[in-house]
Amino acid sequence: MAHFLMSTRIHMGQSSLEEIKGLGMKRAYIICDPFMKKCGRAEELASILHEAGAETEIFSDVVPDPSIEVVTAAIQGMKKFGPDGIVALGGGSAIDTAKAAGQLYGAMNGGARPMLAAVPTTSGTGSEVTSFAVISDTQAQVKYALRDQAMVPDAAFLDPALTASVPPAITADTGMDVLTHALEAYVSTKADDFTDACAEKAIRLVWQYLERAVADGSDIEAREHMHNASCLAGIAFSNASLGICHSMAHALGAAFHIPHGRSNALLLPHVVAYNAALDYKDESRALLRYAQIAQMLGIGGATPKAAVHNLLRQIRNLMKRINEPFYVTDCRVEKEAFLEQVPVMAQKAMQDGCTETNPRVPEPCELEGLYRELCKGGSV
């Protein structure tokens, strides 16, 4: 017995943000990071809501890897303002903050959370359609992957114009996050025909448009397709869940503050090789699934193992072309400090909820080995 849930109303394409007027919010609490307020995006959104007769308040204290403290501060602001709607403006950090804060605010008031709308300004997390929120405990250096169907936003607005000013490095990081979401959803133990359809399309779009979006941020066609790919991958993994690439990336990001998409990119080739069990004689289910992706992308191979080897080569080639690093030592992380944290990160990854649906059941020592691959050789 499986379930496929899709409860978010998605508005997509240029000028789609104007459709937010139709939500009927009267008191809209806008959650964003300081840059969204400084650059005027938050005020532009507030103006659109004002045209529809809504009062607004802007909470702009969101930080990367949103913390328990920031979520608490957002809830305190809601208590004072009394919103009937929450609008998350920004990347995954803003949307995850809004999800967690809105859910807790509703619970503290003995009812459902206010209406939640998500306006992503990066093409990466897919958080605008998922039941996940990742919140950090800064003291314990742990990221908690929360999951509750009640946190899924009611509406999402995929306006590619909002991503046009995203710098190339962030475009690359978030694009690799999309690819990781889709690949992990595709090989997840909970994958089904419906999640496969979304994952496959997301992979195709990333393969075709990510490099273009990195090379030219004003390429609105590439931006629009990457925005759609991010959302499709979000739909896929919200239903199929993820795997150890994300478990390990959560621990890596919490320990060394490497951006989430970049953490996934560092780990992705190693995790694909591990899940495919390329050194085993027998062909695993994951290996055959990765080989299907290779075939879909036109990557040849006389055998499934050869196809996966070629897929790995092409993933690394894509990373080179978009200037993604291959080693933590290229991310201002000292090798000795990293190796010291490897056992701790491996244990935290083992406890992460994403590990449950990984196609290969890992041992802590195996995760330690995968982490150590990230500091071999220096720069590529």
Look at residue 380 in the predicted model and tell me its pLDDT.
38
- Is residue 132 exposed (0-12), middle (13-18) or buried (19+ Cβ within 10 Å)? buried
Taking only the tens place, the pLDDT of each residue in 181-218 is 999 999 999 999 999 999 999 999 999 999 999 999 99
**Residues 6+ positions from 169 with CB-CB distance below 8 Å:** 323
Q: What residues does 116 pair with on adjacent strands?
A: 86
Look at residue 58 in the predicted model and tell me its pLDDT.
98
Look at residue 377 in the predicted model and tell me its pLDDT.
58
The low-confidence residues of the chain, meaning pLDDT below 70, are: 1, 377-380
Average pLDDT, the chain: 94
> What letter would DSSP give residue 373?
G
Give me the numbers of helices (H) and strands (E) for the chain, helices first please: 13, 8
Cα-only R_g, the chain: 20
Taking only the tens place, the pLDDT of each residue in 207-255 is 999 999 999 999 999 999 999 999 999 999 999 999 999 999 999 999 9
This prediction has a pTM of 0.93
Read out DSSP for 138-181? TTTTEEEEEE-GGGS-SEEEE-GGGGTT--HHHHHHHHHHHHHH
Contact 62, 116 (CB under 8 A): no
